[in-house]
Homo-oligomer: A and B are copies of this chain.
């Protein structure tokens, strides 16, 4: 059990770590272009050109240079290169975190993973700024003035998000993860189809015979929340069911809120039989509320969650879980990153990508039984 393989070291040795180590132990810093060219008896110009694949270098020299670079573990200094080229070869992400509850939306991890994949394939670094949502301007200002990124991915857009005209005016290329309704100017975005996802989910619950379906949504200045509510309402309207304000909630997406809401709704008169929840975290609270009342998930109450194209809930044998899978968030990250790179490099590409959620529908035990809940 403790017989661990050490692939990392091996990989390094296969690479050029020994050379780097030797150099560092010799007290020297990492090798510079000047040193390398000195060693080769060539000019910096030629070495640089050889390494960067310029055509006017003879094949012989190129080979010689490449070999020497590998041997000595040479890699160009990013800072110097950035200064010389004017491109930072880095992309900034601003991750807003709520200052009200200490929590980071777990989907960011997946989105970032997808984006990171594309970045590293294209030689870009990823610069992260995690900032309290009441201090977000500082992060943008910093990116703008310090000029250490070539582009930005904008997360968690609100309705008519003020950052969009701002970034437009500043001329910093950006792609929005999500959309911003009522925006005045065009902008590039990658989004999942929140409306259709919630419409389908609501339809699904209605098909199962649910009549009183709770919508537990995010705060409605967030764009996604608006769209999700629209989907929910559209499904009801299609069956001529008037939306009941008593069943629609918008708030911070915390576990506690989901829990408290669920307990109070299930304990009240005319309890709902299903919950449609915007956030995985909130859904966990809903689930806990259901459990605490001694009810059985999917027999007594149904729960559907959808978290920005994410869920940890998988489709079970008889659990009506309906949700998108996490892999599609990662895909959104990849798509957004590629779009931004294309824009920055002046390629002509689609500036709008609407992803349908990668949905999974479970089999259900059927309509929820009428609940009888003892309060307390």
CB distance from A202 to the nearest CB of B (A): 20
Chain A 308-344 interface 0/1 with B at a Cβ cutoff of 8 Å (1 = within)? 0000111011110000001100100000000000000
Q: Which of B82, B126, B327 contacts A127 (CB 8 A)?
A: B126
Chain A 112-136 interface 0/1 with B at a Cβ cutoff of 8 Å (1 = within)? 1100110010000111111100101
**Taking the full assembly, how many copies of this chain does it contain?**
2
Q: Which of B166, B220, B298 contacts A17 (CB 8 A)?
A: B166
Chain A 6-44 interface 0/1 with B at a Cβ cutoff of 8 Å (1 = within)? 111101100111001100110000100000000000000
Chain B residues in 8 Å Cβ range of A268: none
Q: Interface residues of A, CB < 8 Å — how many? A: 100
CB distance from A80 to the nearest CB of B (A): 5
Complex CA–CA separation, A1 to B181 (angstroms):
14
Would you call A102 an interface residue if the criterion is a C-beta within 8 Å of the partner chain's C-beta atoms? yes
Chain B residues in 8 Å Cβ range of A50: none
Does B288 contact A314, Cβ atoms closer than 8 Å? Answer: yes
Q: Which of A135-158 contact B (CB under 8 A)?
A: 136-142, 144-148, 158
A171: nearest chain-B partner, CB-CB: B24
* Chain A residues in the interface with B (C-beta under 8 A): 1-2, 4, 6-9, 11-12, 15-17, 20-21, 24-25, 30, 73-80, 82-83, 88, 90, 95, 97, 102-106, 108-110, 112-113, 116-117, 120, 125-131, 134, 136-142, 144-148, 158-160, 162-163, 166, 169-171, 220-221, 255-256, 259, 281, 284-285, 287-288, 291-292, 294, 296-299, 312-314, 316-319, 326-327, 330
Give 20 pairs: A residue, B residue, CB < 8 Å, sorted on A: A2-B159, A4-B159, A8-B136, A9-B166, A24-B171, A30-B145, A73-B145, A76-B146, A78-B146, A79-B83, A104-B112, A112-B130, A125-B127, A125-B148, A128-B128, A281-B312, A284-B313, A292-B316, A292-B317, A294-B296
Given A76-B146, A117-B130, 20 extra CB contacts under 8 A: A4-B158, A30-B144, A75-B146, A79-B147, A97-B113, A102-B327, A104-B110, A104-B112, A112-B130, A116-B130, A120-B129, A120-B142, A125-B129, A126-B128, A126-B129, A126-B130, A256-B314, A288-B313, A291-B319, A294-B299
